[in-house]
């Protein structure tokens, strides 16, 4: 199951159910809209039923706080996107971290040496990005958030690699990879591009964690300016596939997952 608020837009049920059916597992993955006030009671029920699933906006940090045990990566990120129940209680993991690493190193064609990242946003997804790149050799990250205080709090957790930038453009001024970890781009509003692609260093890679039908306006604009670019659908599938493996001990068929979302998510480059 997926716990979040709202969750109606989520593609996770479509691709997880396709993978479960393909693997012959007689379980259903459902999205449950849980308001913040209902979260403690929902978690209690889940623990009693030995449930397993994913967590999305806005509950990732609170579920981390409710777990009996966190994996080291979930503890470092301070957020849980994948959970299951063991005898000790709720166990929390964060597969966004490995999923980001996988997608970013695919876009950059390997683990870069001395990468310069611009990270836009300072929430749970941004924390997963920092956790993922922490081990990249010589990496430096400039974090911009509309709330400078939140950016400063995030950077204080990883001071060896991260500093606060005052504007998105300042964050991106020498960036070899620019990551959007805000919800900008989910809607078709005029302000849906987090930073003008013409302000980026030539050849800088662009990774938008947001996804939507036909890709986001930012990804399309960046590609038109010659930047390698990808939206968040690859990361969504990767985090979901890794979660599936944690719950069931089975590696799901990612082709089946992609086929299930391709129609819903519109035209995009082949994977």
Segment interacting with ligand NAP (CB under 6 A) among 33-41, 67-75, 110-118, 145-153: 145-153
Residues that bind ligand NAP (rule: CB under 6 A) add up to a total of 26
Asked whether position 235 contacts ligand NAP by CB under 6 A, the answer is: yes
Which string of x and - marks every residue 205-224 that binds ligand NAP (by CB under 6 A)?
----xxx-------------
Whether 77 and 96 have beta carbons less than 8 Å apart is answered as yes
SS (H, E, C) the chain: CEEECCCCCCCHHHHHHHHHHHHCCCCCCCEEECCHHHHHHHHHHHHHHCCCEEECCCCHHHHHHHCCEECHHHHHHCCCCEEEEECCEEEEECHHHHHHHHHHHHHCCCCCCCCEEEEECCCHHHHHHHHHHCCCCCCEEEEECCCHHHHHHHHHHCCCCEEECCCHHHHCCCCCEEEECCCCCCCCCCCCCCCCHHHCCCCCEEEECCCCCCCCHHHHHHHHCCCCEECCHHHHHHHHHHHHHHHHCCCCCHHHHHHHHHHHHCCCCCC
Interface pick for ligand NAP out of 53, 121, 197, 252 (rule CB under 6 A):
121
Marked catalytic residue, from 60, 101, 116, 227: 60
Interface pick for ligand NAP out of 13, 106, 183, 228 (rule CB under 6 A):
183
Separation CA 111–CA 97 (nearest Å): 14
Which string of x and - marks every residue 55-94 that binds ligand NAP (by CB under 6 A)?
--xx-x----------------------------------
Asked whether position 264 contacts ligand NAP by CB under 6 A, the answer is: no
Interface pick for ligand NAP out of 14, 182, 204, 222 (rule CB under 6 A):
182
Phi, psi of 179 (to 5 degrees): -120, 130
Tell me the residue nearest to ligand NAP as measured from the CB.
123
Active site residue 60: yes
Asked whether position 106 contacts ligand NAP by CB under 6 A, the answer is: no
Residue 40 CB, nearest distance to ligand NAP (Å)?
Answer: 19
Segment interacting with ligand NAP (CB under 6 A) among 11-19, 26-34, 65-73, 140-148: 140-148
Segment interacting with ligand NAP (CB under 6 A) among 12-20, 106-114, 121-129, 258-266: 121-129
Asked whether position 260 contacts ligand NAP by CB under 6 A, the answer is: no
Q: Is 190 exposed, middle or buried (0-12, 13-18, 19+ CB in 10 A)?
A: exposed
Interface pick for ligand NAP out of 53, 78, 124, 197 (rule CB under 6 A):
124
Residues with a catalytic annotation lie at 60
Residues that bind ligand NAP (CB under 6 A): 57-58, 60, 96, 121-126, 145-147, 150, 181-184, 186, 209-211, 232, 235-236, 239
């Amino acid at each position: 199951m997926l716990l979040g608020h709202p969750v109606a837009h989520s593609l996770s049920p479509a691709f997880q159910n396709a993978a479960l059916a393909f693997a012959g597992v007689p379980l259903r993955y459902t999205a449950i809209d849980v308001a913040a006030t209902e979260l403690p009671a929902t978690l209690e029920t889940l623990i009693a039923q030995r449930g397993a699933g994913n967590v999305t906006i806005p509950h990732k940090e609170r579920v981390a706080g409710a777990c009996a045990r966190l994996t080291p990566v979930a503890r470092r990120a301070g957020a849980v996107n994948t959970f299951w129940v063991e005898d000790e209680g709720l166990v929390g993991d964060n597969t966004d971290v490995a999923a980001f690493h996988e997608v970013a190193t695919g876009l950059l064609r390997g683990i870069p040496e001395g990468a310069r990242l611009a990270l836009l946003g300072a929430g749970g997804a941004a924390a997963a990005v920092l956790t993922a790149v922490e081990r990249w050799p010589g990496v430096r990250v400039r974090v911009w958030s509309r709330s400078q205080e939140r950016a400063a709090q995030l950077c204080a957790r990883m001071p060896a690699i991260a500093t606060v930038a005052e504007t998105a453009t300042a964050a991106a001024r020498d960036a070899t990879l620019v990551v959007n970890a805000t919800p900008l781009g989910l809607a078709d509003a005029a302000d849906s591009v987090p930073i003008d692609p013409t302000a980026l260093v030539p050849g800088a890679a662009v990774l938008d964690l947001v996804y939507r039908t036909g890709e986001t306006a930012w990804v399309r604009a960046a590609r038109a300016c010659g930047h390698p670019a990808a939206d968040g659908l690859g990361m969504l599938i990767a985090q979901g596939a890794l979660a599936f493996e944690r719950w069931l001990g089975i590696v799901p068929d990612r082709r089946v997952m992609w086929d299930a979302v391709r129609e819903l998510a519109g035209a995009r480059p082949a994977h």
